[in-house]
Amino acid sequence: MAKAKVIIIGAGIGGLTTGALLARHGYDVTIFEQAYLPGGCASTFKRRGFTFDVGATQVAGLEPGGIHAQIFAELGVEPPEAKPCDPACAVFLPGETKPVNVWRDPEKWQKERNEQFPGSEPFWQLLKYLFEVSWRFQSREPVLPPRNWWDLTELLKSVRFDTFTTLPFALMTVGDVLRLYGLDGDRRLSTFLDMQLKLYSQVDAASTALLYAATALSVSQAPQGLFHLQGSMQSLSDRLVEAFKQNGGKFYFGHLVETIETRSKKVTGVTIRQLKTGKIWQTTADHVVANLTVQNLAQLVPIYRPRVAKLPAGSGAFVVYLGVDQAAIPPNCPPHLQFLYDYSGPIGENNSLFVSVSQPEDGRAPQGKATITASSFTDTALWWDNTEEDYSQLKQRYTNEAIARLSSYFQLSRDLSIHQEAATPRTFARYTARDRGIVGGIGQRLSTFGPFGFATRTPITNLWLVGDSTHPGEGTAGVSYSATTVVKQIEATALRY
């Protein structure tokens, strides 16, 4: 008996993973993507011999047993070549020239944090314990949040005795625990946590759910780790595309899904517009998987609009892409760095920069050259609620400020700089179609984390949501977990009919 027809909206990592796995399981799968390359925020572009990662620059889950390693093993394709980042990040606090190095080796990282933040070890040991329990729980593939009895059954299958030991912390934030240990007055520690958590949870330590932070702050240590891909981030989506096509999956690039068709609260298909020609057409489907932000999904499915309207505004990103001579890079420069320039300023708006630097022979730059990608969180409203002239001036000002900041660490003289360009939330909206160019998913506050978040199972029968708006959150590993959850749910649906 032929399996169901599935349409996937969006070829980000979540959509590609869902499509590749379903095609492997025998489903008739078609992916519609409005851009002309796969990958979404984990894609790349080329300029003058340089290859730049658009947004995402690190990958978790490539270690043996990690989520990406499991998926590639199931798909029967080789994972992309990658090296562990060690340190995972070098974090520079304001006015300091010695960074906080987040080492992969657990003992080395423990020594580092004890030197940098004396008296904080009980806090880190609590995070370590919560991470270990949460990691075992997540490895049993729970469905969070559950939306029917099958979901709840799968969730309960993942629960063990040690899972209950995390319950006293389930409604706590990192800020709560810092106060519990008397560490909330440690400005350096609080600032370091704010910087790191903003990258992963989109919010600061005071607001980040503790159980989410335990994973975000611990996953960079062995036996897990963060990885730097050989070639570019595109190599991850290329492997997924390879597996998808090998199993009969079909792609339509340059096609925008304009409506999701339903009847009696059950999905029936989609309406598509081909962007080059303007041609509009419809196709039926047994399942539709939306690899979208919830803000984008709310535009297609009105039932989401009231809840989405209550969400705090999402973050945008301002990014500077530089192609430089290798001489511009300091010796032994880590692949990832984070800078905060003023304690009184925000984590964003060029007062903080997350910087990724290509490594020799990693395929991102010609011989003797390197790439620098520097990003900063920004309020999306700054970039939309203005005239074209004001927008251009703001973009130039932010570019100049970012390069001036970077010049305190890199040698960015005119003779060493080869290529320069910048991206704003408008740029991300244009190329990824994410609403107002927001990035990074929903902030992992208590109100949107785990059982309180958006589910992969939507209120529309056989309409599914994957990506960084769902559990367990942002990053290529996070969206891949949501993809495997949806695959399980679709397979279970097929067994019931």
- Asked if 15 and 9 touch (Cβ cutoff 8 Å), the reply is yes
Phi-psi region of 202 (alpha: psi -120 to 50; beta: other; left: phi over 0): left
pLDDT of residue 125: 98
Say how far apart CA 331 and CA 139 lie, in whole Å: 39
> What is the maximum span of the chain, computed from C-alpha positions, in angstroms?
67
Task: Looking at the structure, give the CATH architecture of the domain made up of residues 315-436.
Answer: 2-Layer Sandwich (3.30)
Please name which of 138, 139, 113, 135 lies closest in space to residue 219, comparing C-alpha atoms. Answer: 135
pLDDT of residue 275: 96
What are the Cα distances from residue 222, in Å, to 88, 102, 109? 11, 12, 10
Say how far apart CA 447 and CA 204 lie, in whole Å: 14
Nearest-5° Cα angle at 296, 290 to 299: 105
Say how far apart CA 391 and CA 384 lie, in whole Å: 8
pLDDT of residue 496: 56
| Domains in the chain: boundaries | 5-44+234-311+442-495, 105-221, 315-436
Three-state DSSP state, 145: coil
146 burial class (0-12, 13-18, 19+ CB within 10 angstroms)?
middle
Say how far apart CA 85 and CA 336 lie, in whole Å: 8
Q: Which fold has domain 5-44+234-311+442-495?
A: FAD/NAD(P)-binding domain (3.50.50)
Q: What is the pLDDT of residues 435-444, one digit of tens each?
A: 999 999 999 9
User: If you ran DSSP here, which 8-state letter would residue 3 be given?
Assistant: P
pLDDT of residue 495: 65
> C-alpha dihedral over 120, 124, 129, 135, to 10 degrees?
170
Please name which of 6, 2, 13 lies closest in space to residue 31, comparing C-alpha atoms. Answer: 6
Q: Residue 340 is inside which H or E element, if any?
A: strand 336-340
Same topology, domains 5-44+234-311+442-495 and 315-436? Answer is no
Say how far apart CA 10 and CA 468 lie, in whole Å: 13
pLDDT of residue 56: 82
Say how far apart CA 371 and CA 341 lie, in whole Å: 22
- Asked if 472 and 453 touch (Cβ cutoff 8 Å), the reply is no
Please name which of 41, 43, 178, 162 lies closest in space to residue 123, comparing C-alpha atoms. Answer: 178
Please say whether the dihedral angle defined by the alpha carbons of residues 155, 161, 167 and 170, taken in this order, is positive or negative: negative
pLDDT of residue 280: 97
pLDDT of residue 208: 98
pLDDT of residue 170: 95
Q: Is the peptide bond before 366 cis (omega within 30 degrees of 0)?
A: no
Say how far apart CA 110 and CA 253 lie, in whole Å: 47
> pLDDT in tens for each of the 497 residues of the chain?
568 999 999 999 999 999 999 999 999 999 999 999 999 999 999 999 999 999 888 899 999 999 999 999 999 999 999 999 999 999 999 999 999 999 999 999 999 999 999 999 999 999 999 999 999 999 999 999 999 999 999 999 999 999 999 999 999 999 999 999 999 999 999 999 999 999 999 999 999 999 999 999 999 999 999 999 999 999 999 999 999 999 999 999 999 999 999 999 999 999 999 999 999 999 999 999 999 999 999 999 999 999 999 999 999 999 999 999 999 999 999 999 999 999 999 999 999 999 999 999 999 999 999 999 999 999 999 999 889 999 999 999 999 999 999 999 999 999 999 999 999 999 999 999 999 999 999 999 999 999 999 999 999 999 999 999 999 999 999 999 999 999 999 999 876 54
